[in-house]
Chain A
């Protein structure tokens, strides 16, 4: 286990300093998945915005590594749950155990009670389990037998799913996809990165290189800070106009929901921290628009999985060009 690389600063982050912390986290993530700086920044943005992350990728590109690296760099407690067809809600949420000595039931928290949970191959679990997880994601708490158990803060779920192999899976309904702030894919590393991996790693786990550069408290502070970012009415109007454009687009069956609008606002707020600003610009909105909305719009064409995401991304980029940004 690595030691924290530095003594955490006592002072709370400000818009002017937040990006240094975020840069540090993104740099550590970049260490784990090399050549994916943009994705590393996006993951950081997602965590700071207080959202959950959906990774859609073929196996073997480092999804799990990325999630673990995130937990480690931020010093978050971590659990990896492999979703399988026989996984039951109690397996992730926890259960009431009968204590013989006191003759009472006691709650034994499941693996979900961690600050960062990796829901690996989420679509392999039956819908009942999926929805138990998604409910916990939305509420930040778990209700069992009438008792509410708060999940540890900051609570983040990183879910992965394989977008190509659908056999034996329960695809996430679109309404549930909506609960993920950001969807992204890592994609295969560039050839030179793969070559370097081959040459240097030699089987040594990439995670060992990741240091803890932040703390759960700092992440919580960053989230609070991001939530405070000024969103000018003109920018808010821009977000709304974008949403309306998706709803009125001929190739889109169902446009961005209100939750999508809120999520885009939150993501743009976090994004604005990168520029050491205390307000959101249309540029911030545009930067996070595709990762934030591509999985939320339902296309008229019946394509599924990655192709659908690509097409949605393409449509959204086109919309960005059509809907004039406030000046």
Chain B
């Protein structure tokens, strides 16, 4: 196989790989299809076309695969779109392993296109975009090399080095053109079946279990994966929100772990009203990302109403009913990979729940203490409080003491018989759960009702939304204050409440988040309306400025955009005309340059504006000894340049070698003659 053809096939196979990867990043393809495809791709890249011999027989394998996929779909374990995507990938793998002929190439590229379309339907994440571009570039280069290959006669090597730079430039232009097309050309909005539930790569990182175990496992604080994205109304602005986002509360502590009293309170409601709210509620549109991994709804403290929930799963998106649990937890009634919903929350300052309205199990639990509680806990609390009975003041006093006397650490000490005593009297260091547990129990020993709350603390601004990372998971204390309900008191030192990652990782993540967000806004959710906005923004004066509206002239940025566009067109036009006008360095021209260089070494130089033809004629007239060697070279050059018979591969080198030999001989003879004289 010719070298260029090998490169073309590698590019083709890599393009197919990228197309498959664009689907695979959604994480929804069944693992076995992933494995099969990867094996096929590796074999193809290694040049092992395993199915080259028995294409039809091996195609039966595809039938088997199709049957398995159909079974999966009918049994409901696989979405139809995902199954179709997986099948496209396997067809591609089969084609990769078949004998490489033009028909196969076409099928590989076609299946690549199908896979890219599938990838768009499955995820459309930023990583998908990268693979899409890679597919475009690789496939175009491969196709273009195929055209070059068809043009070069059989048996001659492909001028790969010569064609790659112009091809790359062409592909660059094509990509730029595609972007312009994307931005400006009116589109049809195909509402894909949209199993937009990409769990990404890797398992979920948080999640709310029914228990919180002190001294548990994992260093979740350093985990930067985004679990929640929310837009707030009214938008508070600011880069860091620093708010408490509550998931659920716990009220029973057995000395080792926290659990909740009670179970399901209300089943399958489309809208949950946890507590009545006033006028100044904060509206949130929340998206729980697959990395979240739980079924508990998260909302800004203190949630009032939750609803409009949609659960996304591999088999599509649908409205999800909600359940209310004891402990103020709201759950999705059905499992999903990701969710979106809306929530209204009361402004900070208390939940408004009065003690009497709480269910009796919860009322009882708020003062319960584990049986084997270390007596020192109660003594210490009494000593710190020094007679303070007002719940909120007492809680704040204890929290201040905890923040002052204890250090924050993520180095967990493993399981202890009494983790609380270990924290308070031995290690004097722990994480948020230790702090919150200590505060809650110390309050309870003094007869003040309190409970443990878990959720997230923080909120990082990305464009117009706030995000929460897995590392923002947090625990704190709810103190029951008469008239105000539950009030949040946080015993954890403030610096250690939000996510704790290394600084540069944070910066990189912030960059990635910004890119991801821009990708979502500018590509995934880019619509006809956005196109209209782009066009309108260019010509309309900015809203609200009456003076500008009266002028009825386009705003300066329209002029600027027009100027920039004009400049770009001008520069491109100049570049194109210069490129077109520039004489191409033809093979024959390079050849004549080489010939003249050889002649110059024999001190035969061309006069100004004398062509090789005329030089040859002059030498013939002068009976120069080199005429015999030069004439055939000249003739061949003229034929190649003006006669439409280009130099064959290697012919120039051969002619030059003959000429060089003649020149060497000539110089040797003249040297000998001059020595003799």
Residues of A participating in the B interface, judged by any CB pair closer than 8 Å: 230, 232, 234-235, 277-283, 286, 320-322, 324-327
Please name the residue on chain B nearest to A282 by beta carbon. Answer: B611
Which residues of B sit under 8 angstroms from A324, Cβ to Cβ? 609
Known: A232-B642, A281-B611, A327-B641. 6 other contacts (CB 8 A): A282-B642, A283-B611, A321-B609, A324-B609, A325-B609, A327-B592
- Verify A325–B642 contact, CB threshold 8 A: no
- Verify B613–A281 contact, CB threshold 8 A: yes
- Verify B609–A278 contact, CB threshold 8 A: no
Instruction: Give Cα A235 to B611, complex, Å.
Output: 13
A234 touching B641 in the complex, CB below 8 Å, given contacts A283-B613, A283-B617, A324-B609: yes
- Verify B644–A282 contact, CB threshold 8 A: no
Which residues of B sit under 8 angstroms from A326, Cβ to Cβ? 641-642
Q: Could you write out 22 A-B pairs with CB less than 8 Å apart?
A: A230-B643, A232-B641, A232-B643, A232-B644, A234-B641, A234-B642, A235-B642, A277-B643, A279-B642, A280-B642, A281-B613, A281-B638, A283-B611, A283-B617, A321-B608, A322-B609, A325-B611, A326-B641, A326-B642, A327-B592, A327-B593, A327-B641
Contact with A along B608-639 (1 / 0, CB 8 A): 11010110010000000000000000000011
Rounded to whole Å, the gap between the CB of A250 and the closest CB of chain B is: 20
B74 within 8 A of A: no
B589 within 8 A of A: yes
Which residues of A sit under 8 angstroms from B638, Cβ to Cβ? 277, 279, 281
Residues of B participating in the A interface, judged by any CB pair closer than 8 Å: 589, 592-593, 608-609, 611, 613-614, 617, 638-639, 641-644
Which residues of B sit under 8 angstroms from A283, Cβ to Cβ? 611, 613-614, 617
- Verify B639–A282 contact, CB threshold 8 A: no
Please name the residue on chain A nearest to B593 by beta carbon. Answer: A327
Instruction: Give Cα A13 to B314, complex, Å.
Output: 80
Which residues of B sit under 8 angstroms from A277, Cβ to Cβ? 638-639, 643
Instruction: Give Cα A234 to B588, complex, Å.
Output: 12
Instruction: Give Cα A234 to B589, complex, Å.
Output: 12
Which residues of B sit under 8 angstroms from A325, Cβ to Cβ? 609, 611
Rounded to whole Å, the gap between the CB of A274 and the closest CB of chain B is: 12
Instruction: Give Cα A322 to B643, complex, Å.
Output: 24
Please name the residue on chain A nearest to B596 by beta carbon. Answer: A327
Which residues of B sit under 8 angstroms from A235, Cβ to Cβ? 642
Rounded to whole Å, the gap between the CB of B374 and the closest CB of chain A is: 99
Please name the residue on chain A nearest to B611 by beta carbon. Answer: A325
Please name the residue on chain A nearest to B613 by beta carbon. Answer: A283
Which residues of B sit under 8 angstroms from A320, Cβ to Cβ? 609
Which residues of B sit under 8 angstroms from A230, Cβ to Cβ? 642-644
- Verify A278–B617 contact, CB threshold 8 A: no
Interface centre among B593, B642, B643 (most CB of A within 10 A): B642
Which residues of B sit under 8 angstroms from A327, Cβ to Cβ? 589, 592-593, 611, 641
Instruction: Give Cα A232 to B645, complex, Å.
Output: 11
A-B residue pairs, 7 tightest by C-beta: A283-B613, A279-B643, A232-B642, A321-B609, A327-B589, A325-B611, A281-B638
Which residues of B sit under 8 angstroms from A278, Cβ to Cβ? 643
Which residues of B sit under 8 angstroms from A281, Cβ to Cβ? 611, 613, 638, 642
Which residues of A sit under 8 angstroms from B611, Cβ to Cβ? 281-283, 325, 327
Instruction: Give Cα A320 to B642, complex, Å.
Output: 19
Interface centre among A277, A281, A283, A320 (most CB of B within 10 A): A281
Rounded to whole Å, the gap between the CB of B477 and the closest CB of chain A is: 88
Instruction: Give Cα A158 to B644, complex, Å.
Output: 35
Please name the residue on chain A nearest to B642 by beta carbon. Answer: A232
Rounded to whole Å, the gap between the CB of A285 and the closest CB of chain B is: 10
- Verify A282–B643 contact, CB threshold 8 A: no
Rounded to whole Å, the gap between the CB of B609 and the closest CB of chain A is: 5
Instruction: Give Cα A171 to B641, complex, Å.
Output: 43
Please name the residue on chain B nearest to A234 by beta carbon. Answer: B642
Instruction: Give Cα A105 to B608, complex, Å.
Output: 65
Which residues of A sit under 8 angstroms from B609, Cβ to Cβ? 320-322, 324-325
Rounded to whole Å, the gap between the CB of A327 and the closest CB of chain B is: 5
Which residues of B sit under 8 angstroms from A282, Cβ to Cβ? 611, 613, 642
Which residues of A sit under 8 angstroms from B589, Cβ to Cβ? 327
Which residues of A sit under 8 angstroms from B613, Cβ to Cβ? 281-283
Instruction: Give Cα A278 to B644, complex, Å.
Output: 10
Please name the residue on chain A nearest to B590 by beta carbon. Answer: A327
Which residues of B sit under 8 angstroms from A279, Cβ to Cβ? 638-639, 642-644
Which residues of A sit under 8 angstroms from B608, Cβ to Cβ? 321
Which residues of A sit under 8 angstroms from B617, Cβ to Cβ? 283
Which residues of B sit under 8 angstroms from A234, Cβ to Cβ? 641-642
Instruction: Give Cα A324 to B643, complex, Å.
Output: 19
Instruction: Give Cα A280 to B639, complex, Å.
Output: 9
Rounded to whole Å, the gap between the CB of A316 and the closest CB of chain B is: 14
Rounded to whole Å, the gap between the CB of B587 and the closest CB of chain A is: 12
Rounded to whole Å, the gap between the CB of A291 and the closest CB of chain B is: 17
Instruction: Give Cα A286 to B589, complex, Å.
Output: 19
Instruction: Give Cα A147 to B41, complex, Å.
Output: 81
Please name the residue on chain A nearest to B608 by beta carbon. Answer: A321
Instruction: Give Cα A281 to B611, complex, Å.
Output: 10
Which residues of A sit under 8 angstroms from B642, Cβ to Cβ? 230, 232, 234-235, 279-282, 326
Rounded to whole Å, the gap between the CB of A18 and the closest CB of chain B is: 16
Which residues of B sit under 8 angstroms from A321, Cβ to Cβ? 608-609
Please name the residue on chain B nearest to A278 by beta carbon. Answer: B643
Instruction: Give Cα A286 to B614, complex, Å.
Output: 10
Instruction: Give Cα A278 to B638, complex, Å.
Output: 11
Rounded to whole Å, the gap between the CB of A238 and the closest CB of chain B is: 10
Please name the residue on chain B nearest to A327 by beta carbon. Answer: B589
Please name the residue on chain B nearest to A321 by beta carbon. Answer: B609
Which residues of A sit under 8 angstroms from B614, Cβ to Cβ? 283, 286
Instruction: Give Cα A235 to B614, complex, Å.
Output: 15
Instruction: Give Cα A234 to B614, complex, Å.
Output: 17
Instruction: Give Cα A279 to B608, complex, Å.
Output: 24
Instruction: Give Cα A277 to B638, complex, Å.
Output: 10
Rounded to whole Å, the gap between the CB of A12 and the closest CB of chain B is: 21
Please name the residue on chain A nearest to B616 by beta carbon. Answer: A283
Instruction: Give Cα A131 to B188, complex, Å.
Output: 72
Instruction: Give Cα A279 to B614, complex, Å.
Output: 16
Please name the residue on chain A nearest to B592 by beta carbon. Answer: A327
Instruction: Give Cα A278 to B645, complex, Å.
Output: 11
Instruction: Give Cα A325 to B613, complex, Å.
Output: 11
Instruction: Give Cα A282 to B616, complex, Å.
Output: 14
